[in-house]
C-alpha cells in the first residue's frame, strides 16, 4: 500500500509538471486604453482564454505599433496590433521609424480593420485646412508611435513640419482630447479606427471640425500602405459630410518562436469570432477574412498560413 501511495503521488506530480509545461502564455499587445487596439485586444484575449486549451492570457496596454513590434521581436508578447507602414519599417530596419535593426523574427497573423488619419480641430480655432495648422497648437500622438510616424508623413507631403506649429505635443488620444477640451490645444492628429471613443467624447463636448487630407496629397506620400479614403458623414456628432482622409491597414503580428499550433488558434479565434470583436468596438466591422492576406509586408506565420489554407483563402 505504501509503495502504491508513493507511485500515485509521483504520478500526480508528474501530471502536474506536464500540465504546467503544456500551458501556453499569450500576452496580447494593444495600445493606449482610450484607443481601439485596447478594447479589441481585451476581446481577443477573452476568446483565447475561452477557446485555446491551457492558455494563460493577459492584455498589455502599450504605446501601440512601434513598441508592440519591438516587444514581439524580443519575445515579450505573442500577438499584437501594428500599422502596416510601421510593420514594413520594422521588417526593413528603418532607424528613423524606431527600429535600429531589421526585425526578422516578426511574422504576420493577418490584416484586420483600417486606421484612418483623423485630424480634428476645435471649431473656434479657425482651422479648416492643413495649411491653417501653421502657428497653431497641435498634438501628434505618442512619440515614435505609429500615429506620430503617420503625422510626419502627412505633414511632409503637405509641405509642413513641426516647426510650423506654435506648440507640438506628443500625446495619445485621451490626453490630447482633454487638452483640447480645456482650450490648451487647437487640434490633434490621431490614427485610429472610425468612431474612436475619445473623439466621440470631444465632438459631444464642443463643436469640432475634421480637416480633410486630399487624395492628391496622399499620392505624394509615396507609400503603398497609405490609401485615399473617407471618414463617412455622421461618424461623429456634428460631422455632416464625408471627410477625405488616409486609410492604413492594421495588422495582427506574432513572432517566429510562437508554436504553429498556437499561431493557428490565434488566427482562427479572431477570424471565426468576429461578432465578439464587433461588440467590443465597431471598428471591427472592417475586418474581412477575405481580405486578411492583402498588403502584408512580411511573411505569414506557418500556423496562420495553415488556417487560411484550410479556409480556402490561399493556395
Mean pLDDT score, 25-40: 93
pLDDT at 19 over 60: no
Task: Write out pLDDT tens, residues 262-276.
Answer: 999 999 999 999 999
pLDDT at 6 over 50: no
Q: For residues 220 and 148, state if they share a domain.
A: yes
Would 47 be classed as within a structural domain?
yes
Would 167 be classed as within a structural domain?
yes
Q: What is the CATH number of the domain that holds 102?
A: 3.40.190.10
Q: Are 213 and 245 in contact (CB under 8 A)?
A: yes
**Domain, as residue range, for 296:** 23-113+250-310
Mean pLDDT score, 152-181: 95
| Number of C-beta neighbours around residue 295 at 10 A | 15
Q: For residues 202 and 234, state if they share a domain.
A: yes
Q: For residues 238 and 132, state if they share a domain.
A: yes
CA distance 30 to 35: 9
Would 73 be classed as within a structural domain?
yes
Which residues, listed in sequence order, are joined to residue 138 by a DSSP beta bridge?
A: 168, 187
Task: Write out pLDDT tens, residues 189-247.
Answer: 999 888 888 899 999 999 999 999 999 999 999 888 899 999 999 999 999 999 999 99
Would 77 be classed as within a structural domain?
yes
Short-list 248, 250, 249, 265, CA closest to 301: 265
Q: For residues 123 and 65, state if they share a domain.
A: no
Q: Are 206 and 121 in contact (CB under 8 A)?
A: no
Q: What is the mean pLDDT of the chain?
A: 91
**In this structure, which long-range contacts are made by residues 99-104, counting pairs with CB atoms below 8 Å and at least 24 apart in sequence?**
99/66, 99/69, 99/70, 103/69, 103/70, 103/72, 103/73
CA distance 121 to 126: 9
Would 10 be classed as within a structural domain?
no
User: Which of 204, 224, 248 represents a domain boundary (last residue)?
Assistant: 248
Query: What does the pLDDT read at residue 144?
Result: 80
pLDDT at 308 over 50: yes
Mean pLDDT score, 252-261: 98
Radius of gyration of the chain (CA): 22
Q: Is the Cα torsion angle 152, 226, 107, 94 positive or negative in sign?
A: negative
pLDDT at 14 over 60: no
Task: Write out pLDDT tens, residues 65-83.
Answer: 999 999 999 999 999 999 9
Q: For residues 181 and 305, state if they share a domain.
A: no
Q: For residues 152 and 235, state if they share a domain.
A: yes
pLDDT at 2 over 50: no
Query: What does the pLDDT read at residue 15?
Result: 40
SS3 25: strand
Q: For residues 154 and 228, state if they share a domain.
A: yes
Would 292 be classed as within a structural domain?
yes
Q: Are 271 and 292 in contact (CB under 8 A)?
A: yes
Short-list 232, 225, 173, 220, CA closest to 199: 173
Q: For residues 54 and 201, state if they share a domain.
A: no
User: Total domain count for the chain?
Assistant: 2
Would 12 be classed as within a structural domain?
no
Q: For residues 193 and 209, state if they share a domain.
A: yes
Query: What does the pLDDT read at residue 200?
Result: 93
Q: For residues 192 and 122, state if they share a domain.
A: yes
Q: Identify the band that residue 146 occupies on the pLDDT scale cut at 50, 70 and 90.
A: confident
Would 268 be classed as within a structural domain?
yes
Amino acid at each position: 500500500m505504501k509503495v502504491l501511495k508513493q507511485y500515485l503521488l509521483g504520478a500526480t506530480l508528474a501530471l502536474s509538471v506536464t500540465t504546467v509545461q503544456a500551458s501556453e502564455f499569450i500576452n496580447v499587445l494593444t495600445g493606449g486604453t482610450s484607443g481601439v487596439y485596447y478594447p479589441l485586444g481585451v476581446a481577443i484575449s477573452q476568446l483565447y482564454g475561452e477557446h485555446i486549451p491551457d492558455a494563460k492570457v493577459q492584455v498589455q496596454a502599450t504605446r501601440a505599433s512601434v513598441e508592440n513590434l519591438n516587444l514581439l521581436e524580443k519575445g515579450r508578447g505573442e500577438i499584437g496590433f501594428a500599422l502596416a507602414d510601421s510593420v514594413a519599417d520594422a521588417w526593413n530596419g528603418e532607424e528613423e521609424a524606431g527600429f535600429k535593426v531589421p526585425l526578422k523574427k516578426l511574422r504576420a497573423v493577418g490584416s484586420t480593420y483600417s486606421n484612418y488619419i483623423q485630424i480634428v480641430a476645435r471649431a473656434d480655432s479657425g482651422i479648416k485646412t492643413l495649411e491653417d495648422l501653421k502657428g497653431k497648437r497641435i498634438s501628434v500622438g505618442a512619440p515614435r508611435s505609429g500615429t506620430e510616424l503617420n503625422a510626419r508623413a502627412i505633414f511632409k507631403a503637405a509641405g509642413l513640419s513641426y516647426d510650423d506649429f506654435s506648440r507640438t505635443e506628443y500625446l495619445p488620444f485621451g490626453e490630447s482630447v482633454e487638452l483640447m477640451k480645456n482650450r490648451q490645444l487647437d487640434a490633434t492628429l490621431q490614427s485610429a479606427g472610425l468612431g474612436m471613443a475619445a473623439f466621440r467624447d470631444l465632438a459631444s463636448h464642443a463643436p469640432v471640425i475634421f480637416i480633410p487630407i486630399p487624395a492628391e496629397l496622399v499620392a505624394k506620400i509615396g507609400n503603398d500602405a497609405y490609401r485615399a479614403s473617407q471618414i463617412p458623414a455622421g461618424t461623429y456628432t456634428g460631422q455632416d459630410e464625408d471627410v477625405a482622409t488616409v486609410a492604413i491597414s492594421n495588422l495582427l503580428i506574432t513572432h517566429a518562436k510562437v508554436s504553429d499550433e498556437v499561431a493557428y488558434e490565434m488566427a482562427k479565434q479572431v477570424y471565426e469570432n468576429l461578432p465578439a470583436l464587433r461588440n467590443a468596438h465597431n471598428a471591427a466591422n472592417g475586418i474581412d477574412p477575405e481580405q486578411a492576406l492583402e498588403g502584408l509586408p512580411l511573411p505569414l506565420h506557418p500556423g496562420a498560413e495553415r488556417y487560411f489554407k484550410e479556409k480556402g483563402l490561399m493556395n
